[in-house]
Every structure is written in C-alpha cells, then in structure tokens.
C-alpha cells in the first residue's frame, strides 16, 4: 500500500506587522474588541513589491530544505491561493519557474480558506495512484490586497503568509483519509462580488473587496466543522482521544475552541497561530503546521487532524500520521 507522507514543512511571513492599535487609527475599532471577538492581536502584511509567488517561494525553499530535497526531485506542484499574481499563468507555474524546475505538472487550486486542505487531498490522490512520487503543496496568500481598509467588519481579520509541505510516496502510513465538501448555496455570505468574467467594471465600487456576513458565517462554520470532525473519526474508527494534535484553520479563536470542545481536546493539543497571523486563508493550516513542527511540539508518528472552512462554502479535513 502506498501512503502520502509529509517529508518537510516550511513557511514564510512578511516582515511588516500590523497591530490592533494600528487598526484603531484606520477604523472605528478597539484592540479589546478584536482580541475578545477573534483572538487576533497582530497580522503580517506583504510589502508593496511582494506578491503571492514571493511568499510561496520562500515557504517552498524552506519545505524542500526540511525534506532534504532539491526542486528537481519534485514531480507535481500545487498552489492553493485566492490571490494569484496574475489571471494566468497560474501561481504554481510562476513558482515552478522560480524554482527552476521544468516540465512537471503545476496548477492552482481555488477553495479559499479550505484551499490547502483541497490541494493536499489532490496531491494525495496523485501519489496513491502512482501519478506522482514527490509533490510540493503550497498555501499562499496576499489576502490583505482584497480588503477594504474602511470596513471594520473584515479588515481586522485577515493577514498575508505562505506555508508549504513536501509530500512523498511511502510504505509507512502518512495521510489516512481526506474529506472534502462544498455548498455553493452559501456563495453570498462570504465573497468578493466582482470578477474578470463579469468585466473589469464589476470590480469597481467596492465589489473587488471581501464582503462577509460574519455572524452567519460563524454559526455555519462551527456546525460544519463539528460534523466533519465526526465524519473523519468515524471513517477511521477512531475516538477523540486518538488525535494528538488538531491543526485548524485559523479564522477565529472562538471557532477553534468550539471544534476542540467537540473533540474533547485540551487547547494544549491545538495549534493556535490566529493571535499572531490573523486569518491567512489557504496559508493558515500549513503555516500552523510548520510552526508546531519547528518548535518541536509535533513529533514523528503522532496523529494529526487538519480542518478548514471557507468561502463557497468549502470545508474539509485530513487525518494523517506525521
């Protein structure tokens, strides 16, 4: 049996840090409100001349180094992003050029905040079926470029960053199961209304920015993530206590706490980066994974549950032996 195993992780955060106090100067908000409602204190923002592929490249180099691999060993590149550098080529192709790797398959996946979970699930299928042996899977975003800095209901929530993993075919257990879902009926609760196909004018008048009905998104997210935890445990015949680490999408500390409660898991076994990173969309799960691998919390052989929820709505989970 062939499994997909993570052989290296990497991440990158831009240097510029935006604090809640900085936001107090932009909109009618307070540090206290943001921390109490979201758990966020700071977030990173890409420099003016930095784009998504720059962030993806740094994270990828670090993941390759951690895996002891060279870019030439990679036979598949998948980038999850909602904020691509260009309409085309894909950010994955731009990253491939940066890595000086020519010829292997490279494409983007768009599932907003669930993007990395989708991308890693796709890579898992390629590896299990023998179509790839060594894949680079990246979640990278410059989501702050989609924010209206006058809208306090969204601009305090998001940040920029990138996370990456190298995954390889292995006889030892790695990814045990993946679970992907979507329901486009919720398209309007969290979206950017404009888009290329509607013409450039569709992006004017605020329609090129993130809009969200926050409290409605919150309720659906909590219920949906609770259900996917059950689905994942049942599919693997596992109990809550079999999970060593929860690596959730980092949107809001209250959503994370609700999922941990569902798992009857102490917050000591939940990787939480939302306080320092904000919501980095597709980058949030691989960023959190890399942080906990590098600081020594996550050890080889442990059982990890990753989950995410985002615009679409999309949601998904991955259970794996690290």
Binding site for ligand COA (CB under 6 A): 29, 33-34, 37-38, 113, 152-153, 156, 190, 212, 214-215, 217-218, 221, 251-252, 279, 309-310
DSSP 237-262: T--GGG--EEEE--S-HHHHHHHHHH
Nearer to ligand COA, 118 or 309 (CB): 309
CB of 9 to ligand COA, least distance (A): 22
CB of 101 to ligand COA, least distance (A): 31
Residues recorded for the chain? 322
CA atoms of 75 and 129, how far apart (whole Å)? 14
Nearer to ligand COA, 174 or 310 (CB): 310
Half-sphere exposure of 222 (CA within 13 A, CB side): 13
CA atoms of 209 and 193, how far apart (whole Å)? 8
CB of 196 to ligand COA, least distance (A): 23
CB of 26 to ligand COA, least distance (A): 10
**Catalytic residue (choose from 44, 179, 249, 277):** 249
CA atoms of 288 and 164, how far apart (whole Å)? 11
Look up tokens 């180099």; give the residue. Answer: 61
Degrees (nearest 5) of the Cα angle 317, 177, 60? 65
Whether a cis peptide bond, with omega within 30° of 0, leads into 250 is no
Nearer to ligand COA, 69 or 152 (CB): 152
CA atoms of 236 and 29, how far apart (whole Å)? 44
Residue whose C-alpha is closest to residue 47's, from 18, 12, 16, 93: 16
Nearer to ligand COA, 217 or 292 (CB): 217
Does residue 237 carry a catalytic annotation? no
CB of 115 to ligand COA, least distance (A): 11
**Catalytic residue (choose from 20, 104, 113, 277):** 113
Nearer to ligand COA, 84 or 312 (CB): 312
In terms of phi and psi (left: phi > 0; alpha: psi -120 to 50; beta: otherwise), the region of 163 is beta
Does residue 20 carry a catalytic annotation? no
**Residues designated as active site:** 113, 249, 279
């Amino acid at each position: 049996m062939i499994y997909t195993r993570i052989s290296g992780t990497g991440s990158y955060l831009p240097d510029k840090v935006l604090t809640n106090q900085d936001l107090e100067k932009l909109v009618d908000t307070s540090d206290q409100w943001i921390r109490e409602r979201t758990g966020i204190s700071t977030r990173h923002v890409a420099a003016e001349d930095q784009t998504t592929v720059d962030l993806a490249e740094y994270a990828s180099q670090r993941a390759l180094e951690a895996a002891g691999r060279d870019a030439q060993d990679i036979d598949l590149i998948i980038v999850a992003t909602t904020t691509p550098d260009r309409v085309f080529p894909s950010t994955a192709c731009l990253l491939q050029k940066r890595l000086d790797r020519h010829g292997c398959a490279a494409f983007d996946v768009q599932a907003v905040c669930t993007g990395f979970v989708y991308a890693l699930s796709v890579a898992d299928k390629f590896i299990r079926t023998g179509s790839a042996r060594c894949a680079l899977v990246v979640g990278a975003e410059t989501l702050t470029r989609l924010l209206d800095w006058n809208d306090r209901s969204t601009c305090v929530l998001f940040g920029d960053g990138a996370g990456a993993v190298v995954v390889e075919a292995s006889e030892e257990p790695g990814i045990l199961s993946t679970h992907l879902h979507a329901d486009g009926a919720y398209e309007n609760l969290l979206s950017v209304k404009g888009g290329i196909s509607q013409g450039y004018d569709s992006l004017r008048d605020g329609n090129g920015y993130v809009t969200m009905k926050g409290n409605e998104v919150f309720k659906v997210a909590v219920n949906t993530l609770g259900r996917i935890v059950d689905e994942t445990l049942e599919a693997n015949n596992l109990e809550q206590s079999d999970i060593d680490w929860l690596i959730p999408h980092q949107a809001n500390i209250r959503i994370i706490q609700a999922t941990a409660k569902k798992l009857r898991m102490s917050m000591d076994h939940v990787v939480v980066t939302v306080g320092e990173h904000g919501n980095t969309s597709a980058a949030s799960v691989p960023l959190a994974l890399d942080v906990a691998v590098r600081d020594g919390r996550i050890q080889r052989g442990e059982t990890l549950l990753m989950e995410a929820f985002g615009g679409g709505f999309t949601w998904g989970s991955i259970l794996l032996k690290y």
